[in-house]
Each structure stands twice: as C-alpha cells, then as structure tokens.
Amino acid sequence: MAILLDGKATAAALRQEIAEEVKGSGMTPGLAVILVGDDPASRIYVNNKKKACAAVGFYSEEITLPADVSQETLIDTVKALNKREDIDGILCQLPLPSHLSDRAVIAAIDPKKDVDAFHAVNAGNLLRGTPSILPCTPAGIMELLFRYHIDIDGKRCVVVGRSNIVGKPMALLLLQKNGTVTVCHSHTRDLAAITRTADILVAAVGVPHFITADMVKAGAVVIDVGMNRDENGKLCGDVDFAAVEPQVSAITPVPGGVGPMTIAMLLKNTLTAYKNR
Ligand code: GUN
C-alpha cells in the first residue's frame, strides 16, 4: 500500500512554524490579493488565502475590481500597492478576464513583492538557480517530498504539463535537486512509455483521471497537481487514484495533497518578502 503524502497535515505543520515565528516578534507581514470579477473558483481561492493569513497573524487585504475593469486601472492598483509600506506581498488571482493581460499585470508587480514568483525577474532567478521566492505550487511539492524524505538526486522525474505556474518551474526545481527531468505535454508522442520510466511523476494537466495505472511504474512516487471536478461534480485530480495507488510507493490525495501546500508556501513567501524588505 502506498504512503499517502498528507499535504493537509504537512501544511498545518508549516503554518504552525510560521505562526510561531511571527507571534510576539513584532513582525506583521502584509499580503494584498487582487480579485478581478466574480469567478466562483477564484473567490474560494482568495477566501482561503485570506483565512490562512489571519490564522498565522499576517495582515491581508482584498482588492476586488469589477470584471470590466480597464488594464490601466488594474495596473495603477498594483503600482499603488508596490508603494505601500504595510504590504509585503501582492498577488493578482488568475485567470483574468480575457480583455486583460496577465503578463502586463505580473510585470507591474515589484519583484520583491511578487509572492507568486511569476514576474520575469523571479522566473529568471529560478532558471539560473538563484531564486529568493519560489512559485508556490512547485515549492509546496518540493517541501512535501522533503518532509517525507523522498530523495530526488539521480531519480528519473517526469513532469506532465508545461505551464509557467507549475510544469516549467517544477521541472527546474527537480533539476536543481539533481533529478533527471523530462517534461511532457500535449504534443508528446507515446506519453505512457515516458511516464512509465518515472521514479517521480508529477501530473499537472487539468484533466480528470488522465494518468491511468498503465502509465505508472510500480513503486513510483506520484504527485497529483490536478484540481478538477469529475462527472458527478466531485473534486478529483489528474491521476486515477483508485487504480494507481495500489501499485506506487507514495501518492498525494486530492483533495488534501498539493492544494494545502500551495497556500502554506504563499505564507512562507510573504514572510520571506517581509524579511527581505
Ligand atoms: N490561479 C491558479 N493558481 C494560481 C496561483 O498560484 N496564483 C495566482 N495568483 N492565481 C492562480
């Protein structure tokens, strides 16, 4: 039977460590979260981020803008937050309505306050191996692997998905820890033959049950980044958990795996941004 990589418990331990560091220290890290429009999933994510801040003694502020806000107003909002002394971290919840440019908004965030680590400066520092802030989801996965003593050095790592938010930075972090990394995507030929070589398999595709049992090597470590709804509206990952779990050595559940780690790493980044300023 596989070890369940419990992101919920690990994130709670991390939050506890952060809360203890902040409590009585005189530090009040501040996070500003910008939400454009009223996408229900984004609403939930933003609420969770604010709740997590309150639980560890951070200040947080939500800036809600209408779905038809102009690019100029959004960027002016970011620039005003860049100047604020009480705000250490800024994030703009994605996706944005289609008339707005993610790239322009991210570029407007002061890289020192870019707690998502999406700015080109932070992405570049990661590429060069000199990061100060790491993207939350890949960093959360690395923390989970570390806390479960899963060694990466020399291992075959396969990342399915090449997004700027997860797939690409995930591959870089595994590489930095001396993994032999392959990145697969929608144009990859004979995907299953590649995923079957993985000692560590990371699925970040966004398709329910995409990774089936025949795609996974016996004894592999499987990390499921997916956050999907199945045909019954139930939350599920990218991995067919019921079929894959019996044949692997460790696996993250959905929910309760990668998701909670992402928010814990956002708190860690906000604390780091506070200290760096
Ligand atoms: N939307 C989905 N994931 C993320 C994330 O990590 N950060 C932000 N800002 N938006 C997201």
pLDDT in tens, 127-140: 999 999 999 999 99
Spell out where the chain has E strands: 3-4, 30-36, 59-65, 89-92, 156-160, 180-184, 200-203, 221-224, 228-229, 235-236, 250-251
> Which band of pLDDT confidence, cut at 50, 70 and 90, is reported for residue 49?
very high
**Residue 10 C-alpha to ligand 1 middle, in angstroms?**
20
**Environment class of residue 252 by beta-carbon count within 10 Å: exposed (0-12), middle (13-18) or buried (19+)?**
buried
**Residue 198 C-alpha to ligand 1 middle, in angstroms?**
27
pLDDT at 42: 95
pLDDT at 135: 98
**Residue 112 C-alpha to ligand 1 middle, in angstroms?**
18
Angle in degrees, 0-180, between the axes of helices 7-22 and 258-276, rounded to the nearest 10: 20
What Cα–Cα distance (Å) separates residue 106 from each residue in 68, 127, 131, 216, 261? 18, 18, 17, 36, 22
CB 163 within 8 A of CB 202: no
pLDDT in tens, 249-259: 999 999 999 99
Query: Ligand 1 atom closest to Cα of 116?
Result: 7
Which amino acid residue places its CA nearest to atom 3 of ligand 1? 94
Q: Is the pTM of this model over 0.95?
A: yes
pLDDT in tens, 95-147: 999 999 999 999 999 999 999 999 999 999 999 999 999 999 999 999 999 99
> Which band of pLDDT confidence, cut at 50, 70 and 90, is reported for residue 180?
very high
